[in-house]
Amino acid sequence: MNNEKKLRISVSQISSYLSYIEGKISLEQFVNSMLKRDKPNIKMIAGTIFHCILQGFPYEEDSRIEFDSGDIEEAKKKIDFRSSIFEYKIRKPYLTDRGDVIVTGMADQILGDTICEFKTTYGAFSYDRYADSIQWKAYCSLFGVEQVKYQVWQITEPEEEEKEERKVLRVKSYNEFTMYGNSCSDYLFRDALNGAVDLIYATDLVEKMSM
């Protein structure tokens, strides 16, 4: 049995690498992402709760967050419950320029040959934000599917500080679209993976990220 430790990296960490080389985050922020030091902010917490409610999963309540019940029922109508495969995690080995690594990803829902990703946003809907992301390119390869469907709910922004009268969060808009994997998207994913692994080696994080 081969018990050799291998570098493990998630798709979200590969996305952090791309954010770093595009100048959107600092090297320190990149390292924090690799070592999972960042704590979720109120927007991330609200998004997680929204996900759990839609999927019928238990969640840790937050006294600052409450969604309009009518909006939730309308949002649930957008989910195809013919499939109950939610929050499906996968680990898959990839050969990089520095050897084998394990890439991990978590699909919100698997529906036949399609991955459905549920997203929340607080600003105006931006197609490019998702179309330009590495996520769908990686997921087509990781899960062996042909397409990734994005379902995006724009919701009102939660308040950081707890107040006497809790703000009820509303759904402002809904958009959906599908991205299709091909040889080009697979190349872009593998190129980003190689770059991320190179930077992990350059910042001496390999041992800390190997399991």
Cβ burial, residue 114 (10 Å; 0-12/13-18/19+): middle
Could you tell me if residue 82 is inside a domain? yes
Query: Is 60 part of any domain?
Result: yes
Question: Which pLDDT value is given to residue 105?
Answer: 98
pLDDT of res. 3:
66
Residue 90, in any domain of the structure: yes
Q: 114-121 and 99-111 as β-strands: parallel, antiparallel, unpaired?
A: antiparallel
Tens digit of pLDDT per residue, the chain (211 long)? 456 889 999 999 999 999 999 999 999 999 999 999 999 999 999 999 999 999 999 999 898 999 999 999 999 999 999 999 999 999 999 999 999 999 999 999 999 999 999 999 999 999 999 999 999 999 999 999 999 999 999 999 998 887 767 789 999 999 999 999 999 999 999 999 999 999 999 999 999 999 8
User: pTM for this structure?
Assistant: 0.92
Residue 80 belongs to what domain range? Answer: 41-191
Give the integer Cα–Cα distance in Å for 51 and 85: 14
> At 56, is the secondary structure helix, strand, or coil?
coil
Does 14 map to a domain?
no
What is the number of domains present in the chain?
1
* 79 in any annotated domain: yes
- Write the DSSP string, 26-41: -HHHHHHHHTT-PPP-
Position 65 in a domain: yes
pLDDT at 14: 98
Query: Checking DSSP bridges between strand 168-169 and strand 114-121, what pairing results, if any?
Result: unpaired
Residue 28 lies in a domain: no
Asked, for residue 173, whether it belongs to a domain, the answer is yes
Structure confidence at residue 205 (pLDDT):
97
Alpha-carbon gap, residue 165 to 42, rounded angstroms: 17
